[in-house]
């Protein structure tokens, strides 16, 4: 017994030491924070270097899974930006906490422009939900590249042509409305809409994002879905589905006849996801500008708008200044929206 | 002949398309064989690179990766007892004992041949009854998925060799571990104790790598064999004998049927397909007690099921524009970049692309058997590597694989911790497979139960009274009761005699 036992004991000890070691490695990010504090001293040096930024690979942290909508848009833009920058743009998927994990990592990283975050409007929701202490103010916003609004979508054979028809039906019977992930923007928007319209709806979340909602609507498991129209692209293109109302600031490209909630007189009911690039707080403005210009060139390329159109998404470019203004509005707007949703 | 079929043929059978498909498959097999690197990841990363190719060339390459990746997972499952992908989980149960016995070649050969026939079955179903099956699959709501998960969890009984109690403890542990993180319905933290890392959740890939990989390394380290310099094993013959084929053909067909259908469901994929395929093979077998000891049926059933799920997953994608699993979800992007929207419109507007894809799938399966067999030979040599070299290499792969999944050092720690847990579980005869089952099925089990209850406004009866779920529950009940009745009536006869 003794020999085997000793061995396994020894092994366990080695593994535990290994764990401690790894845990220690994890702290290097804290070291970066210290470096960050030192950063201002180096500012002059960095200004001189500005001309030859970027000198090495740029890392983009994507907080969602490989192959999802945000991942695809991020990778396409990274690929296009690579062409006119001379360095590699490397995308990594830092998945967890609906984006809170990646936000934490990038906020702590060295503010030299080589570590970027590509995230949706979750950046304006997570702090209100208490999932992170961070919001846009802890970052240097660079550029916004696309907007996807949520929308209320029904089957065309439902007989509902306008929001009024839907409201009338909902007053007769408790309707089932499936939406995106729990605590995500689509669910928040759906709950806020329900409360604003004073309806009694059964709002059901999906496991991951809005994609599982489309088959549920097609299979008549639910009466309506509240997700981004591009997540129900095939149904909308064949005419099996239709958009009743858009929750974006603008109408949806896939349902141009459907009004927005704002048009209908509910200015506080906006749920739209803006995807944008962010650098850690303290990144030199020259570097931010350089990054903005490189990414703007990618947004204005031939391929990017083509891809966005084919997936039913909308290109929505905002420069750094406009993005900051928008984020100020968005952060407050989603606070109201969450209050409306009762979350 | 239909001109669209001809156009599709000429699109698929160009030298570039054929070579890209072969390259994709080679890459897929390697990625699939490395634990932690999944076919999903490989396709997600390579999809943007295919955008510069023509639509069909890109799709042929991605199809190659997809099929290769699903197959590749079985190689490490058989040779090292570490499933390279979640869908190869069940293959390890019989594949590895067979390889350990000195018949690694036979195990790999069986896996390849079953994958080939299973995959071909899936494609044939796709070619013939796709629209009908896709419409039927849409009738599956949360209640039906919940019933399917119960089917899956009932497999725990089949996996607990010896002690049922230990099996249930193991499965319960797995179900508990996946509760850590964010609640899927109301979005609040569970068991996180304020830790941001725990809030982000524990994903099943690092756990699986730890429980199988590191636990295997630890077990090997503490056995006497390790102290010898080499552990040379025979590879044996690769191609299955006629006798083997005779034994497995029924299992392959039945599993392929199960796998294709599960693959066609938008909420379930190859992993569940292979679990159910294995269970069904064991249930129907005349010698269920031999499963887990390294018998051909135990390899054929899950391998046929997980590869047939590929054809299945294409069914809702092509006919309805709804992905059948995580990989087809990414493939939608590959279609769209070329302005093709998968779904009924694609059949109307670009039928040649659909036919070309069909040809692509068929070609890829031919590659599978050629490349699979020749790769198997090379890979099989892995276990003739001295163990004092092999084990460090495996440890390295485990660390890299668990880190690569989500770029989290935390996952490496999770992997190591579960490696130690797995080691002690093995030492104390707790089966590991039920725990993995709990981890893989747990999240969908919980999510669908809760969504189903919310859809039914809390009326539990509706879980069982919807027509399809009622049928599923009756089958499940029969599976449990039937063996007992059979035994009892046999006893009665004996008494009467």
Q: What distance in Å separates the CA atoms of residue A264 and residue B468, rounded to the nearest whole number?
A: 41
Does the interface ipTM go beyond 0.85?
Answer: no
User: How large is the average pLDDT for residues B11-21?
Assistant: 91
Residue B6 pLDDT > 50: yes
Which stretch of A27-36, A91-100, A222-231, B121-130 has the lowest confidence by average pLDDT?
A: A27-36
Res A45: pLDDT: 47
pLDDT for the residue A176 = 95
pLDDT, mean of residues A105-119: 93
Distance CA B200, CA A99 (A): 9
Tens-digit pLDDT profile for residues B457-484:
888 898 898 989 999 999 888 877 776 6
B278-307 tens-digit pLDDT: 988 988 888 888 888 899 999 999 999 999
**Measured between beta carbons, which residues in chain A are less than 8 angstroms from residue B133?**
none
Mean pLDDT check: name the lowest of A85-89, A151-155, B248-252, B412-416.
A85-89
Rounded distance between C-alpha atoms, residue B307 and residue B207, angstroms: 24
Q: What's residue A98's pLDDT?
A: 79
What are residue A104's DSSP bridge partners?
Answer: none
B141–A221 CB contact, under 8 Å: yes
Instruction: Considering only the beta carbons, identify the residue of B44, B185, B408 that sits closest to A67.
Output: B44
CATH H superfamily, domain A24-148+273-341? Bordetella uptake gene, domain 1 (3.40.190.150)
pLDDT at position A11:
56
Q: Hey, CA dihedral for A150, A156, A161, A166, is it positive or negative?
A: negative
- What count of Cα atoms within 13 Å lies in the side-chain half-sphere of residue B330? 26
Q: Whole-angstrom Cα distance, residue B317 to residue A234?
A: 10
The residue behind tokens 């920058």 is A85
pLDDT tens for A197-228 read 999 999 998 877 777 888 899 989 999 999 99
* pLDDT for the residue A46: 46
Measured distance CA(B208)–CA(B273) in Å, rounded? 18
Q: Report the DSSP pairing between strands A272-280 and A115-119.
A: antiparallel
Please tell me if residue A24 touches chain B, with a CB cutoff of 8 Å.
Answer: no
Residues of A in contact with B327 (CB under 8 A): 67
Q: In the predicted model, what is the mean pLDDT of chain B?
A: 85
Q: Evaluate if residue A279 carries a pLDDT over 90.
A: yes
Taking an 8 Å cut-off on Cβ atoms, the answer to whether B447 and A218 are in contact is no
- Please state, as a whole number, how many other Cβ atoms lie within 10 Å of the Cβ of residue B78: 34
Better-scored residue on pLDDT, B79 or A155? A155
pLDDT at residue A43 is higher than 50: no
Classify residue B182 by its DSSP letter. E
Query: Looking at the DSSP assignment, which residues form a beta bridge with residue A206?
Result: A181
What residues have CB less than 8 Å from A223, skipping those under 6 apart? A154, A158, A169, A175, A176, A177
Q: Give the whole-angstrom CA distance, residue A197 versus residue B420.
A: 55
Q: What is the CATH number of domain A151-246?
A: 3.40.190.10
How far are the Cα atoms of A3, A4, B210 from residue B221, in angstroms, in the given order? Answer: 12, 10, 15
What pLDDT is recorded for position A1? 44
Point out the residue among A7, A204, A219 whose CB comes nearest to the CB of B139: A219
Best residue of B39, B46, B222 to probe chain A, by most A CBs closer than 10 Å: B222
- Measured distance CA(B189)–CA(A250) in Å, rounded: 34
Which of the residue ranges A26-30, B27-31, B342-346 would you say has the lowest mean pLDDT? Answer: A26-30
Distance from C-alpha of A141 to C-alpha of A134, rounded to nearest angstrom? 13
Q: Where are the domains of chain A?
A: 24-148+273-341, 151-246
Residues 6+ apart with CB under 8 A from B269: B87, B262, B263, B309, B313, B324, B325, B326
Nearest to B407 among A18, A92, A303 (CB): A92
Percent of chain B topping pLDDT 90: 32
pTM (two decimals)? 0.81
Domains A24-148+273-341 and A151-246 share a fold: yes
Nearest C-alpha neighbor of B118 from the set B266, B317, B221, B251: B251
Query: Mind giving me the DSSP string for A108-161?
Result: HS-SSSSEEEEE-GGGGTTTTTTS-S--GGGEEEEEEEEEEE-EEEEEGGG---
Best of B69, B185, B456 to disrupt the A interface (most A CBs within 10 Å) is: B185
Report the candidate in B118, B95, B113 with the shortest Cα–Cα distance to residue B242: B113
Count of residues making up chain B? 497
Contacts of A62 (CB under 8 A, 6+ apart): A70, A71, A74, A75, A91, A92, A93, A94, A102, A118
Banded pLDDT at B1 (limits 50, 70, 90): low
What is the average pLDDT score of chain A?
84
- For chain A, what is the radius of gyration of the CA atoms? 23
Over its C-alpha atoms, chain B yields an Rg (Å, rounded) of: 22
The first and second tokens of residue A129, run together, are 């939900």
| Closest-CA residue of chain B to A27 | B409
Confidence of residue B194 (pLDDT cuts 50, 70, 90): confident
Tell which wins on pLDDT, A223 or B33. A223
């Amino acid at each position: 017994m003794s020999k085997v036992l000793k061995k396994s004991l020894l092994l366990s000890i080695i593994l535990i030491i290994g764990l401690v070691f790894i845990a220690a490695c994890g702290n290097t990010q804290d070291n970066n924070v210290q470096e960050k504090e030192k950063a201002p001293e180096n500012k002059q040096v960095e200004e001189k270097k500005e001309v030859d930024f970027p000198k090495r690979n740029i890392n983009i942290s994507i907080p969602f899974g490989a192959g999802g909508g945000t991942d695809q848009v991020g990778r396409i833009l990274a690929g296009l930006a690579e062409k006119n920058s001379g360095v590699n743009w490397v995308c990594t998927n830092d998945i967890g906490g609906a984006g809170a994990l990646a936000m934490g990592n990038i906020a702590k990283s060295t503010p030299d422009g080589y570590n970027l975050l590509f995230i949706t409007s979750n950046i304006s929701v997570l702090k209100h939900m208490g999932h992170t202490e961070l919001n846009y103010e802890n970052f240097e916003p660079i550029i916004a590249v696309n907007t996807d609004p949520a929308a209320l979508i029904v089957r065309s054979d439902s007989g509902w042509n306008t929001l009024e028809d839907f409201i009338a039906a909902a007053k007769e019977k408790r309707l089932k409305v499936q939406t995106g992930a729990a605590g995500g923007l689509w669910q928040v928007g759906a709950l806020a809409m329900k409360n604003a319209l004073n309806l009694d709806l059964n709002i059901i979340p999906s496991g991951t994002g809005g994609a599982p909602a489309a088959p549920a609507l097609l299979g008549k498991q639910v009466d309506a879905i509240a997700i981004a129209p591009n997540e129900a692209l095939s149904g909308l293109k064949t005419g099996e589905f239709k958009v009743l109302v858009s929750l974006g600031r603008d109408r949806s490209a896939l349902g141009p006849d459907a009004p927005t909630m704002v048009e209908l007189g509910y200015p506080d009911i906006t749920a739209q996801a803006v995807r944008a690039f962010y650098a850690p707080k303290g990144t030199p403005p020259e570097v931010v500008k350089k990054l903005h210009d490189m990414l703007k060139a990618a947004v204005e390329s031939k391929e990017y708008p083509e891809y966005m159109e084919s997936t039913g998404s909308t290109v929505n470019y905002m420069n750094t200044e406009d993005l900051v203004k928008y984020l100020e509005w968005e952060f407050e707007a989603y606070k109201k929206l969450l209050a409306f949703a009762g979350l | 002949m239909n001109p669209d079929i001809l156009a599709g043929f000429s699109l698929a059978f160009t030298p570039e398309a054929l070579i890209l498909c072969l390259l994709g498959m080679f890459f897929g097999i390697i990625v699939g064989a490395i634990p932690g690197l999944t076919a999903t990841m490989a396709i997600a990363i390579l999809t943007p690179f295919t955008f510069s190719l023509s639509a069909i060339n890109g799709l042929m390459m991605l199809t190659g990766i997809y099929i290769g990746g699903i197959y590749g997972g079985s190689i490490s499952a058989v040779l090292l007892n570490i499933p390279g992908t979640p869908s190869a989980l069940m293959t390890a149960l019989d594949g590895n004992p067979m390889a350990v016995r000195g018949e690694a070649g036979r195990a790999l050969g069986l896996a390849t041949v079953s994958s080939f026939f299973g995959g071909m079955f899936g494609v044939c179903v796709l070619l013939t009854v796709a629209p009908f099956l896709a419409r039927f699959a849409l009738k599956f709501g949360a209640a039906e998925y919940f019933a399917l998960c119960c089917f899956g969890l009932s497999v725990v009984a089949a996996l607990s060799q010896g002690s049922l109690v230990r099996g249930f403890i193991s499965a319960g542990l797995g179900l508990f571990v996946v509760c850590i993180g964010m609640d899927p319905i109301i979005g609040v933290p569970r068991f996180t104790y304020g830790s941001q890392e725990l809030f982000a959740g524990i994903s099943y890939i690092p756990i699986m790598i730890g429980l199988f990989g590191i636990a295997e390394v630890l077990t090997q380290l503490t056995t006497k064999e390790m102290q010898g310099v080499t552990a040379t094993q025979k590879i044996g013959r690769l191609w299955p004998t006629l006798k083997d084929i005779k034994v497995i053909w029924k299992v392959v067909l039945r599993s392929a049927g199960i796998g294709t259908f599960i693959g066609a469901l938008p909420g379930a994929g190859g992993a569940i397909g292979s679990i159910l395929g294995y269970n069904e093979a064991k249930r129907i077998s005349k010698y269920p007690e031999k499963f887990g000891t390294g018998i051909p049926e135990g390899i054929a059933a899950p391998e046929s099921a997980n590869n047939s799920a590929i054809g299945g997953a294409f069914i809702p994608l092509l006919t309805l524009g709804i992905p059948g699993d995580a990989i087809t979800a990414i493939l939608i992007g590959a279609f769209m970049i070329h302005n093709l929207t998968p779904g009924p419109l694609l059949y109307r507007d670009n039928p040649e692309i659909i036919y070309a894809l069909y040809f692509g799938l068929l070609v890829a399966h031919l590659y599978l058997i050629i490349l699979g067999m020749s790769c198997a030979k090379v890979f099989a040599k892995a276990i003739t590597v001295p163990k004092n070299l092999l084990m460090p290499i495996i440890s390295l792969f485990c660390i890299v694989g668990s880190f690569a999944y989500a770029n989290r050092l935390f996952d490496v720690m999770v992997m190591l911790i579960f490696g130690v847990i797995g080691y002690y579980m093995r030492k104390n005869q707790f089966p590991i497979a039920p725990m993995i089952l709990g981890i893989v099925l747990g999240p969908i089990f919980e999510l669908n139960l809760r969504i189903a209850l919310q859809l039914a406004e809390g009326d539990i009866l509706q879980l069982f009274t919807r027509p399809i779920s009622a049928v599923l529950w009756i089958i499940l009940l029969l599976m449990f009761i039937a063996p007992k009745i059979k035994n009892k009536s046999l006893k009665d006869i004996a008494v009467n005699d």
